[in-house]
Amino acid sequence: MTSMKSGPAAAGRTAHERRITTALFAAGLATFATMYSTQALLPSLSAAFDATPAHAALAVSLTTAFLALAIIPVSALSSRIGRTRVMMVSAIGSAVIGLLLPFSPTLEVLLTGRALQGLTLAGVPAVAMAYLAEEIGTSGLGAAMGVYIAGTSMGGLIGRVIPGFVLGLGSWRWAEAIISVAAAVCTVWFVRSLPPSRGFVARPAGIRTVLGDLALQLRHRGLLALFGLALVLVGGFVSLYNFLGYRLTQPPFELPDAVAGLVFLLYFAGTAVATVAGRLADRVGRPRVLAGTVLLMGVGLVLTVPDNLVTLIFGMAFCTAGFFGAHTVASAWVGVLATGNRGAASSLYLFSFYVGSGLVGGAVGIAYTRHGWAGLVICVAALLTVALILVSTLAFRTQHLRVDSTG
């Protein structure tokens, strides 16, 4: 009789979790297509507005930087009024702003719109990780997180490839308009698919409570290492793609904008590895998978150094696969290690993530401007070295805790 009851209950739980992963896949598509929709357009924006690469790159950096500023307040708000409500309002708001951006008369107006879009975008990434941790059991969290991260990588792919392709047919305005419409369609899909939360318990969102929740997570050394890992890995990864378009459209490659934009198809490597890495980490251990993915990024970085298009493509594929694999494992690990308010831990991880994307990704542009691709590679190599140190710290801590628990 117990098995008869558990059967329908298990089936209902499975259907609920399937709806969640489908909805968050759509959310990842919409959010990251929007966030990085201008990355493939940077050389065109430089030409259209007579802007330097560093100035044009603000169209990416401002969005992620303002998103980082909003992450913690939005996460606290979601703890009070509900995860699903915040994610829906965020997705709809960013979609509306995106539809207006192609009409920007100047670069300054476009940059202002992108900054505002960063603020509205924050609700999805700030809440999605905590929502998954609350709604899906620990045993399936890695796989579910992998689907969400796969959606973000696919969104990043769509947000870069489609505008790059449209540049061969029209201006940056048409490119931005088409990707904004695509993101709006994914937003509708997300809003219609997302089921009500079952695991959410409202918490007070006063300043003292929020600060207390954040302080609790910051006292956890394992979480601190994961926060640092997010900052350095995304900083290096975004730096590569921010300035790759300039390298491909200038000597010795001199590719057309539309052809250079096809390099973002390498995001398929990130999609594939994200889903595999989550499952593999559940089986063989997170430290091993994290170390392997960071080393894969290092191998890829070395391959990008020669002025050879084939090795450059393989190198960027390895960097992309390694980054999304590491991000999948690290983000799921945050949900496992977090104590108390998981939303606070997720918001700190994502704050670090988008600070890395906005500030580190932009700062490395100074090295690129002064020393070219070689200067950029040195900076990214230093970031990956720090990442390996942090992974070693996590591995040691995990082993130490395992020994203590068995001894």
- Say what the pLDDT of residue 274 is: 79
Closest CA to 304 of 378, 387, 385: 378
Residue 195 DSSP symbol: P
Is residue 224's pLDDT more than 90?
yes
| pLDDT at res. 304 | 97
| pLDDT beyond 70 at 403 | no
Which pLDDT score, from 0 to 100, does residue 110 have? 97
Q: Is the pLDDT reported for residue 400 higher than 60?
A: no
| Of 400 and 98, the one with more pLDDT | 98
Query: Do 290 and 326 touch, CB atoms closer than 8 A?
Result: yes
What would the pLDDT profile of 147-196 be if each residue is shown by its tens digit? Answer: 887 888 788 888 888 898 888 888 999 999 999 999 999 999 999 988 88
Q: Which of 48-57, 112-121, 246-255, 342-351 is least confident?
A: 342-351
pLDDT of residue 346: 78
Tens of pLDDT, residue by residue over 342-393, are 767 877 888 898 899 888 887 888 888 889 999 999 999 999 999 999 999 9
Q: Flag whether pLDDT at 90 surpasses 90.
A: yes
Name the DSSP class of 360: I
C-alpha dihedral (111, 352, 375, 270), degrees to nearest 10: -90
Please state the length of the chain. 407
Name the residue with tokens 């929020």: 210
Reported confidence tier of residue 406, pLDDT bands at 50, 70, 90: very low
Our CA angle for 231, 236, 239, nearest 5°, is 120
Q: What is the pLDDT of residues 112-145, one digit of tens each?
A: 999 999 999 998 887 887 788 778 766 667 778 7
Q: What is the pLDDT of residue 148?
A: 85
Whether the predicted model's global pTM rises above the 0.95 cut: no
Biggest CA-to-CA distance, the chain? 74
pLDDT tens digits for range 275-320: 788 888 878 888 999 999 999 999 999 999 999 999 999 999 999 9
Residue 170: what pLDDT?
86
Percent of the chain with pLDDT over 90: 42
Which string of b and e fits 187-218 if b means at least 16 CB within 10 Å? Answer: bebbbebbeeeeebeebebeeebbeebbebbe
DSSP calls for 386-404: HHHHHHHHHHHHHHHHHHH
Pair 321, 339: CB distance under 8 Å: no
Q: Which amino acid is at 164?
A: G
pLDDT at 2: 43
Can you give the pLDDT at residue 146? Answer: 80
Q: Which of the pair, 15 or 102, is modelled with greater confidence?
A: 102
Does residue 5 register a pLDDT over 50?
A: no
Section 199-203 average pLDDT: 65
Mean pLDDT (the chain, rounded): 86
* Contact call for residues 260 and 164 (beta carbons, < 8 A): yes
**For 50-137, where are the alpha helices, taking DSSP H only?**
53-56, 58-81, 83-100, 107-121, 123-135
Any residues with CB less than 8 A from the CB of 220 and at least 6 apart, and which? 337, 338, 339, 345
Query: With bands split at pLDDT 50, 70 and 90, how would you rate the model's confidence at 404?
Result: very low
d(CA 186, CA 87): 13
Distance, CA of 24 to CA of 132 (rounded, Å):
9
Counting residues of the chain whose pLDDT is more than 70, the rounded percentage is: 91
Sequence-ordered list of residues with C-beta below 8 angstroms from that of 261, at least 6 positions apart, any chain: 40, 160, 161, 163, 164, 165, 167, 245
Q: Are 377 and 305 in contact (CB under 8 A)?
A: yes
**What is the average per-residue pLDDT within 76-88?**
85
* Beta-carbon contacts of residue 279 (< 8 Å; ≥ 6 apart): 142, 143, 146
347 or 329: which carries more pLDDT confidence?
329
User: Half-sphere exposure (CA, 13 Å, Cβ side) for 31?
Assistant: 32
Q: Which amino acid is at 157?
A: L
pLDDT surpasses 70 at 407: no
Is the pLDDT confidence value at 4 over 60?
no
